[in-house]
Amino acid sequence: MNGFAARPADQRSARRLLSFPVVALAVVLFLIAPASQSAAQEEDSVSGTLSQAIEDYLNAQDELAALRQEQEDLEVELEDSQAEVQLLHEELDDYAYVAHTTSDFQSTAALMATDDPTDALSAMTMLEFLGESRADKLNELVTRLAEIEATQETLADNIDEQEDLTVDMEAARDAAAREMAASGGDSAVGPSASDAPDAEPAPRNSDGTLPYESCTENDPTTGGCLTPRTLHALEQANIVGFTRYTKCYRNGSWGEHPKGRACDFAAQVGNFGGDAYGDDKRYGDNLAAWLVQNADALGVQYVIWYRQIWMPSSGWKSYSLAGGDPSSDHTNHVHLSIR
């Protein structure tokens, strides 16, 4: 037989050698695929929980607003009805006086002595009709007033219950936002600054100033601590759609991170990388712009992004630190410091 022909034993060995990498690769893919699927499923689950919590809170707000509007409408109707009742009482008093003064013989004779007795009779009939119709209207209004007052009592109870539910939904939404931050974020591109909802204002003193706060809240991104206002800013950023990787508390002897007053929002998905470009750069641009737009509501001290620093007193200015790396230049993350 011309040419090379492998013996059966050699053929079996060759098949084993060739199949080994394929089998190994299959095993690796089998091990990686479930992990990847699990991570994706977890991301979807956390994102879905946050989305549902936001929707539930918004629905609760809408229902509460509708109940309060109904309450306002009832108050207006009650005021109008009370004013109409008062007017009817006055008209009925006037009618009773006229009817009384025209009921004696002399007054009746005087009316009948007019040039046209039919006109006098018509006037008396109309006077009586107006009295009866006003009395009927008064009875209707009195009945309606009782209905309004009963409805108001029920509505007040419903509003109290809806207010409690709205508070619960807000707490669930904020908890879902913290869970999102704790999960390491997701791959969402985030909204544009103009499309993102406004941040809900952080609590203030009665005179409008921001209260002093210390590092008392758990930081969901590190296990460290945050001030309540910083945690609020983190939650709000996640709620409006800026849900990529974030780290807040960091040990140290200087800056706001050790005080629980700062967060670093990665522009990339999953971690801090190199300089952000493309969609990652746009994500950072939008987040930085949103933080600036909501600086007063959140109590922002300053924002650093892509070699620029923003402060309420001066706006955007050039910023750089020795080192020239993406972290020092803040070209891979948006830094937020809270007062």
CB 156 within 8 A of CB 22: no
Look at residue 186 and tell me whether its pLDDT is greater than 50.
yes
Both tokens of 130, joined, read 């107006």
**Higher pLDDT pick, 234 / 8:** 234
Least confident window among 62-66, 97-101, 216-220, 290-294: 97-101
Task: Kindly state the helix (H) or strand (E) to which residue 296 belongs, with its residue range.
Answer: helix 295-298
Give pLDDT, residue 116. Answer: 64
Residues of the chain with pLDDT > 90: what percent?
A: 57
Confidence of residue 323 (pLDDT cuts 50, 70, 90): confident
Classify residue 259 by its DSSP letter: G
**Residue range 87-94: average pLDDT?**
71
**Higher pLDDT pick, 141 / 306:** 306
Confidence of residue 31 (pLDDT cuts 50, 70, 90): very low
Nearest to 219 by CA among 253, 261, 156, 160: 261
pLDDT digits (tens, 9 = 90+) for 100-156: 666 554 455 555 555 665 665 565 565 566 567 777 877 887 888 888 888 888 889
**Residue range 60-84: average pLDDT?**
87
Give pLDDT, residue 28. Answer: 40
Look at residue 277 and tell me whether its pLDDT is greater than 70.
yes
Give pLDDT, residue 127. Answer: 57
Residues of the chain with pLDDT > 70: what percent?
A: 75
Rounded to the nearest 10 degrees, how much is the dihedral formed by the CA atoms of 187, 191, 193, 198? -110
Nearest to 50 by CA among 273, 254, 237, 323: 237
Give pLDDT, residue 98. Answer: 67
Look-up of token digits 């707490």: 171
Give pLDDT, residue 224. Answer: 97
Question: Please, what's the largest Cα pairwise distance for the chain?
Answer: 152
Look at residue 92 and tell me whether its pLDDT is greater than 80.
no
Distances in whole angstroms, Cα of residue 32 to Cα of each of 20, 29, 36, 72: 18, 5, 6, 60
Is this model's pTM higher than 0.85 or not? no
Task: Kindly state the helix (H) or strand (E) to which residue 220 belongs, with its residue range.
Answer: none
Please spell the DSSP secondary structure of 99-162, one letter per residue. HHHTSSHHHHHHHHTSS-HHHHHHHHHHHHHHHHHHHHHHHHHHHHHHHHHHHHHHHHHHHHHH
Give pLDDT, residue 54. Answer: 93
Give pLDDT, residue 129. Answer: 61
C-alpha to C-alpha distance for 335 and 148, rounded to whole angstroms: 55
Confidence of residue 71 (pLDDT cuts 50, 70, 90): confident
Average pLDDT of the chain to the nearest whole number: 82
Give pLDDT, residue 19. Answer: 42
Give pLDDT, residue 194. Answer: 87
Residue 294 CB: number of other CB atoms within 10 A? 23
**Residue range 196-222: average pLDDT?**
97
Pairing of strands 333-338, 300-305: antiparallel
